[in-house]
Structure 1
Amino acid sequence: MTKVLQVILTMAIVLLNAQNTANRFFYELTYKPSKDSVQIEKEMMVLDIDQNRSLYQSYDKIQNDSLADAVFQEFSKIGQMPKLKKLGNKNALFMHRIFKTYPIHEVVYTGLISLDYFSYRENPNLNWKISDEKQKIGIYNTQKATTDFGGRKWIAWFTTEIPFQDGPYKFYGLPGLIVKIEDQGKNYSWELKGNRKTGDIQFESYMDKYISSVPNIVTKEKFLEKYDQYKKNPFAGIKETFAQHMPAGMQLPDEFFQSKEMREEERQLKKKYSVRNNSIEL
């Protein structure tokens, strides 16, 4: 009987470990949304790492997806349309996700433009200069390193106490996890605030099934071109997407997009993108 219990306990431990195969690192992102403003905003980002890969994205995006999953599961059970307020009001401003496969030779950037995902591959070619300067950040002993990327000079602090040669956003390649990194002008700054175990890395979110689970593969130049076009005319892409997904022979009337509500939504989007003009990469 004792041996049977030992086998059961061993299997339980294996199953528990299998369900917690990734490490989730929480980074607080502090940034200036506008070039000519002193306004500071914050968003929590997460970096999930397992033995073979990593995924970086907004924590609000993950929470919104979990809420949507729960709400629509409820809908499938009771057969009634859920109340939209149950979806919460967290507004994830950074909708991109960044994938890295170990050993890292490139990053895969996936972003949402209008209602479609677009993805491109890039080798950031980070040329790090490691300094002898050291300091303690939180509970970690860190060492300084600098690099140029995306038109900015970056200062990073990494720790060999966490043996992942990775970091937030597109940064990687130091002999340990990046604990803090910011550009010289302090426009963008990530700092590690905590970590815990999590389940398998989910490369497809729940809401992806209702938008476009397979991203359109483009070059980085094409991605930036399409994103710039979207910011200038946000509803052009939405109209095109609606047209593609409507049943054959059906279309939304032009009056739908000319309604007071839709015109106000378009105005707000254009204002948002005109003000938020301080991107991570120049």
Structure 2
Amino acid sequence: MKIKLLAFFSLFVTIVAQGQTTRYIYETSVNPDSINLVTLKSEKTFLDIKGDKSLFISENKLIRDSLFTVFKPDDKENHKKEDRKLVKPDMKKQPEPTFFEYYITKNISGRKVYYHDKVMGKQIYYQEDRPLQWEITEVKENQNGYPAQKAVAGFGGRVWTAWFTKDIAISDGPYKFYGLPGLIVKLEDDKGDYKFDLVKKIKIQNSYEEQASPDAKESTRLSFRGDQAAIELEAGRKKRLPTGAEKGGMNPGGGRHGGGMRGGGMGGNGMDGGRGMPDSGFSTATPQNNISQNPIELK
């Protein structure tokens, strides 16, 4: 099973090099405080769709992880590797924080959703095990420039209202949401903490590209937090100094201190920060400023 999943992930990340991807851009508003209703914070999130596969990821994560690539204008035919330019981030500028320190892939027709994260440089993922049960209403309105229909579903301790349009016949949407007879153009929860509004549709040549590692850790939603801790513990063992200092206690190496969407909450699995540094040639460590105390999933 693990080999099959890794093969699926490898297929997903390579399709972006074989043609254009459609990117749906959502203006995403988040209330970072789980107690008080404060000013909503906004960032852009992307839903990239190519064929039967999709990817949900935040713009700030892409920028921070140096994953935007462009080709030279005169390289429309071959797109040779040597002609590729990597857009390097400004190392002097502090990367913008994100509420989404992970990315999500879907097999749209198969209705399979995968959550991907990285701990101490090691890939870890799980397959979502809670199918969405939508109640499609007869209410129809124009939403974000599209004729849309209202649907409601309970998920992760919240009640979510989605507006989908049949004008875009793709059964997908932001985050883990999917399964309606059209693309979700607006999505919000009953607590007023999260809101996704489709604002733009563009064509791109490149999307997120991260090859699935042979040693990627396959987990489950319920075991995810424990598996994250185990990876950190193992990394801490490898970093111990071979001196008397280790007798004073083992440094677990970059423990979890995040809150909200990056700590202590996502589906009870602690989807959090404290990222390692992938071998990308650029620093992709997560800024240590807990921007969220309010998880998108409450249980």
Q: 3-state DSSP class of the match of 1:90?
A: coil
Per-residue CA deviations over 1:151-202 (Å, capped at 9, x if unaligned) read 1111000001111110001100101000011111112111111110012543
Per-residue CA deviations over 1:112-149 (Å, capped at 9, x if unaligned) read 33443310012431111111111112221111000111
Q: Aligned-pair RMSD on alpha carbons?
A: 3.8
Cα distance in structure 1, aligned partners of 2:187 and 2:237: 43
* Correspondence for 2:279: none
Task: Name the aligned partner's letter for residue 107 of structure 2.
Answer: T
* Correspondence for 1:116: 122
* Correspondence for 2:273: none
| Consecutive unaligned residues in structure 2, runs of 5 or more | 1-15, 71-87, 265-289
Q: 1:269 to 1:136 in 2, by over 3 A?
A: closer
Q: Would the aligned equivalents of 2:62 and 2:208 in 1 still touch at CA under 8 Å?
A: no
The counterpart of 2:192, out of the listed 181, 186, 192, is 186
Q: 1:146 to 1:226 in 2, by over 3 A?
A: same
Q: 1:86 to 1:243 in 2, by over 3 A?
A: farther
Q: Would the aligned equivalents of 2:162 and 2:184 in 1 still touch at CA under 8 Å?
A: yes
Q: 3-state DSSP class of the match of 2:98?
A: coil
* Correspondence for 2:235: 241
Cα distance in structure 2, aligned partners of 1:142 and 1:64: 34
Cα distance in structure 2, aligned partners of 1:166 and 1:115: 29
Q: 3-state DSSP class of the match of 1:85?
A: coil
Pick the structure with more helix per residue.
Answer: 1
Following TM superposition, by how much is the alpha carbon of 1:51 offset from its aligned partner in structure 2, in angstroms? 1.1
Normalised by the size of structure 1, how large is the TM-score?
A: 0.69
Q: Whose Rg is larger?
A: 1
* Correspondence for 1:172: 178
* Correspondence for 1:61: 61
Q: Would the aligned equivalents of 2:62 and 2:68 in 1 still touch at CA under 8 Å?
A: no
Q: 1:102 to 1:270 in 2, by over 3 A?
A: closer
Following TM superposition, by how much is the alpha carbon of 1:90 offset from its aligned partner in structure 2, in angstroms? 2.4
* Correspondence for 1:24: 23
| Consecutive unaligned residues in structure 1, runs of 5 or more | 1-16, 71-81, 231-235
Following TM superposition, by how much is the alpha carbon of 1:225 offset from its aligned partner in structure 2, in angstroms? 3.5
Q: Would the aligned equivalents of 2:111 and 2:179 in 1 still touch at CA under 8 Å?
A: no
Task: Name the aligned partner's letter for residue 193 of structure 1.
Answer: V
* Correspondence for 2:33: 34
Following TM superposition, by how much is the alpha carbon of 1:30 offset from its aligned partner in structure 2, in angstroms? 1.1
Q: 1:277 to 1:251 in 2, by over 3 A?
A: farther
Matches within 5 A, 1:1-282: 20-39=19-38, 40-66=40-66, 85=91, 89-204=95-210, 215-226=216-227, 237=232, 240-241=234-235, 243-244=237-238, 273=263, 276-282=292-298
Q: 3-state DSSP class of the match of 2:223?
A: helix
Q: Would the aligned equivalents of 1:19 and 1:198 in 2 still touch at CA under 8 Å?
A: no
Q: Would the aligned equivalents of 1:19 and 1:200 in 2 still touch at CA under 8 Å?
A: no
Per-residue CA deviations over 1:61-106 (Å, capped at 9, x if unaligned) read 1122337989xxxxxxxxxxx9972575222341111111131322
Cα distance in structure 1, aligned partners of 2:198 and 2:243: 47
Q: Would the aligned equivalents of 1:67 and 1:87 in 2 still touch at CA under 8 Å?
A: no
Cα distance in structure 2, aligned partners of 1:252 and 1:143: 65
Following TM superposition, by how much is the alpha carbon of 1:251 offset from its aligned partner in structure 2, in angstroms? 6.0
Q: 3-state DSSP class of the match of 2:91?
A: helix
Q: 1:254 to 1:183 in 2, by over 3 A?
A: farther
Q: 3-state DSSP class of the match of 1:171?
A: coil
List, as ranges, runs of 4+ consecutive aligned residues in structure 1 with deviation greater than 4 Å. Answer: 17-20, 67-70, 249-255, 265-275
Q: 3-state DSSP class of the match of 1:220?
A: coil
Q: 1:29 to 1:242 in 2, by over 3 A?
A: same
Q: 3-state DSSP class of the match of 2:179?
A: coil
Q: 1:167 to 1:114 in 2, by over 3 A?
A: same
Cα distance in structure 1, aligned partners of 2:20 and 2:62: 18
Cα distance in structure 2, aligned partners of 1:254 and 1:110: 35
Q: Would the aligned equivalents of 1:243 and 1:251 in 2 still touch at CA under 8 Å?
A: no
Q: Would the aligned equivalents of 2:174 and 2:196 in 1 still touch at CA under 8 Å?
A: yes
Identity of aligned residues (%): 32
